[in-house]
Amino acid sequence: MPLATLVSPAIGVGTWAWGNQFLWGYAPEQDQELEACFQRAVERGLHFFDTADSYGTGRWNGRSECLLGQFVAALAPRRRQELCVATKLAPFPWRLGRRGFEKALQSSRVRLQDNLDRVQLHWSTARYAPWQEGPLLQGLADQVLDGAVAELGVSNIGPKRLRRIQGDLAARGVPLRSLQVQLSLLAPEPIRPGGLVDVCRELGVEMIAYSPLALGLLTRMPGTEPSLPSGPRRWLFRRLWSDLQPLLEAMAEIAARRNASPAAVALNWCRAHGAMPIAGLRTVAQADVAGDALAWGLEEGERERLDQLALALPSGARMPANPFQST
- What are the tens digits of pLDDT across the range 183-205? 999 999 999 999 999 999 999 99
> Which pLDDT band holds residue 102 (cuts at 50, 70, 90)?
very high
Mean pLDDT, residues 84-97 taken together? 97
Sign of CA dihedral 61, 62, 68, 73: negative
Of 17, 58, 55, nearest to 38 by C-alpha is 17
- Helix (H) or strand (E) holding 50, with range, is strand 48-50
Query: Does position 3 have pLDDT exceeding 70, yes or no?
Result: no
For 103-229, strand residue ranges (E) read 118-121, 151-155, 176-182, 206-210
CA distance 142 to 133: 14
- What are the tens digits of pLDDT across the range 256-271? 999 999 999 999 999 9
> Which pLDDT band holds residue 9 (cuts at 50, 70, 90)?
confident
Is-contact 283 33, C-beta < 8 A?
Answer: yes
Q: State pTM to two decimals.
A: 0.94
Question: pLDDT value at position 262?
Answer: 97
Contacts of the segment 252-259: beta carbons below 8 A, 24+ positions apart: 252/221, 252/222, 254/298, 254/302, 254/306, 258/296
> Which pLDDT band holds residue 5 (cuts at 50, 70, 90)?
very low
Sign of CA dihedral 80, 84, 90, 95: positive
DSSP 1-21: -PPPBPP----EEE-TTTT-H
Work out the number of other CB atoms within 10 angstroms of the CB of residue 240. 18
Mean pLDDT, residues 227-235 taken together? 78
Query: Does position 240 have pLDDT exceeding 80, yes or no?
Result: yes
- What are the tens digits of pLDDT across the range 270-323? 999 999 999 999 999 999 999 999 999 999 999 999 999 999 998 888 988 888
User: Which sequence positions are flagged as catalytic?
Assistant: 55
Eight-state DSSP code of residue 62: T
CA distance 308 to 287: 29
Query: Does position 138 have pLDDT exceeding 70, yes or no?
Result: yes
- Helix (H) or strand (E) holding 137, with range, is helix 130-145
Of 120, 143, 145, nearest to 133 by C-alpha is 120
> Which pLDDT band holds residue 111 (cuts at 50, 70, 90)?
very high
Q: Which positions ≥6 away from 257 have C-beta within 8 Å?
A: none
Q: b/e map of 196-230 (b: 16 or more CB within 10 Å)?
A: bbebbeebebbbbbbbbbbbbbbbbebeeeeeebe
- What are the tens digits of pLDDT across the range 204-227? 999 999 999 999 999 999 987 667
Mean pLDDT, residues 100-126 taken together? 97
As a whole number, the mean pLDDT across the chain is 93
Beta-ladder partners of 178:
153, 206
